[in-house]
Structure 1
Amino acid sequence: MERYEAIGAIETFGLVFVLEAADAMCKAANVELLGYENVASGYISVLVRGDVSACQAAVEAGVQAVNEMGAEVYSSVVIPSPHGDLGKIVSRYALENLLPKQEEVI
């Protein structure tokens, strides 16, 4: 696994709110959108990576964006210097693994 300086994540209820969170996160700091996962019963998590301060700023901005829409953030976290084995989880939610391969698109 590629070593990230930090990973940030937000979990909220509903696609609209997680899209708003992801947009705010990517605009607020120099982070890369890693992916998302529809966790269960409408809860969706979105993950970003970057340096620690960027992930902290991104998560704060995402939480604020969701709260301003009148929704609640179920959970949020910034993991500085994540262990390399977290790549097994992160790669499962990576955007390139969630989107169909180009040859599969008709």
Structure 2
Amino acid sequence: MANKAIGMIETKGFVALFSGCDAALKAADVSMTGWESVGSGMVTAIFEGDVASVKAGIEAAAEAAKTIGEVVSVEVIARPHEDLGKMGSFLPS
């Protein structure tokens, strides 16, 4: 994960997340590393790339997802610790 950032968006409802992911991938040079169903209708997608691209992608995702459903939270981690990759196969390693 050296010199990369990770970004996450959590929405209530898969359709909102799907729309947000589409917007993020079109708006910025990011890669989607995976998604997880959190439960109670909440789903989270994870992206990676350089810091500026991840910030731009997550902002675009949140704007698009808001038009369809509820955005629960967003987060960008600029220089994640390498051990974060051990948390799950959906995180970049």
TM-score of the pair, normalised by structure 2 = 0.91
SS of 2:60 mapped into structure 1:
helix
Q: Max radius of gyration: which structure?
A: 1
The number of residue pairs the alignment matches comes to: 91
Q: For the aligned residues, what is the CA RMSD?
A: 1.3
**Structure with greater proportional helix content:** 1
Show structure 1 runs of 5+ residues with no match. 95-106
Q: Residue 103 of structure 1 corresponds to which residue in structure 2?
A: none
1:54 aligned partner: 53
Paired amino acid for 2:82: G
Identical aligned residues as a percent: 41
Shift of 1:4: 5.1
Change (3 A) 1:41 1:4: farther
Verify the 8 A CA contact 2:13 2:70 in the aligned structure 1: no
1:93 aligned onto 2:90: yes
Deviation track 1:45-88 (CA, whole Å, cap 9, x = no partner) reads 0000000000000000000001122x221010000010001101
Flag as ranges the 4+ runs of structure 1 deviating above 4 A. Answer: none
Normalised by the length of structure 1, the TM-score is 0.80
1:18 matched residue in structure 2 = 17
Any unmatched runs of 5+ in structure 2? none
The answer to which structure has the higher strand fraction is 2
